[in-house]
Amino acid sequence: MRPDPHLLNAIRFLTVLPTPHSDEAPAPDWLARAMKYFPLVGIGIGAVSACVLVAANMVWSPTIAAILAVTASILLTSAFHEDGLADTFDAFGGGWTVEKRLEIMKDSRIGTYGALALGLGTTLRIAALATLTPWIGAAALIAAHAAARVMPAFVMNRMSHSGDPASMKVSYVQSPVRRTEITFALITAALAVLPLMLLAPRGVVIGLLLGAALGALLARWAKRLIGGYTGDVLGAIEQLFEIGFLLGVAAIIR
């Protein structure tokens, strides 16, 4: 049985994992159709990171284990979302007009604001993980990577793309994510969160609230500064949700 092409597109888009080659051109709305599988791919990314965390804790200190776990997810995704975080903060911090901000986002060079966002974001994730026991940290990683990849779908449905579609880094036609697709993504994320819910239910609630709040704040900031979202903004929202979720779990466990 052939795997769902939308699932393969989600894996290709979010990770560096090899997938079966297809001679068929992707549909114009391929990204919206693939987003239902983003949390499922997030579970896989989180599972790899979680395995590294648990294994590394058997050999090294919690801090080193947390560094290796976060590094594993960055390597698996080729720093895809981290790139969006850096570009977004460079643009919003260094641009004075909508046109200039969009121009900065397309620049492959990293500036002061982007470097600070990357450094602080990575440090906060590592620090939060280091405060958790290995098994709670592993469950938190799986939950965070899955849940964080749902929010961009809501942003795409509620905001319009900013700038010239022809200049997008990834070519696709803007299309809303269907209700059934969002439902599938939410159910997948809920299943990913379930193990952590059994271990630290209050941590899950606080983590989801804090992650959603940070993501929503960035979405509102993007709407005010550039009139909508870009791919970089969606990546930054994923990162902020992930950071907020891990900080929320760590706050309760601590």
- Report the distance separating Cα 228 and Cα 175, nearest Å: 14
DSSP 8-class letter at 32: H
Q: Residue 69 and residue 242: Cα distance in Å, rounded? A: 14
- With a CB cutoff of 8 Å and minimum separation 6, the contacts of 84 are 231, 232, 233, 234, 235, 236, 238, 239
pLDDT at 174: 72
Q: Contact at 8 Å (CB) between 150 and 39? A: yes
Beta carbons within 8 Å of 49's beta carbon, 6+ residues apart:
69, 70, 72, 73, 76, 141, 145
CA angle 245/250/251 to nearest 5° reads 100
Beta-carbon contacts of 99 under 8 Å, excluding residues fewer than 6 positions away, are none
Predicted confidence at residue 176, as pLDDT, reads 83
Report the distance separating Cα 205 and Cα 210, nearest Å: 9
- pLDDT score recorded for residue 108: 82
Two tokens at 141?
């990683």
Under 8 Å between Cβ of 51 and 34: no
Q: pLDDT 10s digit of each residue in the chain, 254 long?
A: 677 889 999 999 999 998 887 656 567 678 888 999 999 999 999 999 999 999 999 999 999 999 999 999 999 999 999 999 999 999 999 888 999 999 999 888 889 999 999 999 999 999 999 999 999 999 999 999 999 999 999 999 999 888 765 555 565 667 788 999 999 999 999 999 999 999 999 999 999 999 999 999 999 999 999 999 999 999 999 999 999 999 999 999 87
Read off the pTM. 0.93
Q: Are 14 and 31 in contact, with CB atoms under 8 Å apart?
A: no
CB neighbour list of residue 21: distance below 8 Å, 6 or more residues apart: none
Separation of alpha carbons 168 and 87, rounded Å: 13
The domain limits of the chain are: 5-17+29-162+175-253
What is the pLDDT, as a whole number, of residue 30?
84
Instruction: Give the per-residue pLDDT at 1.
Output: 62
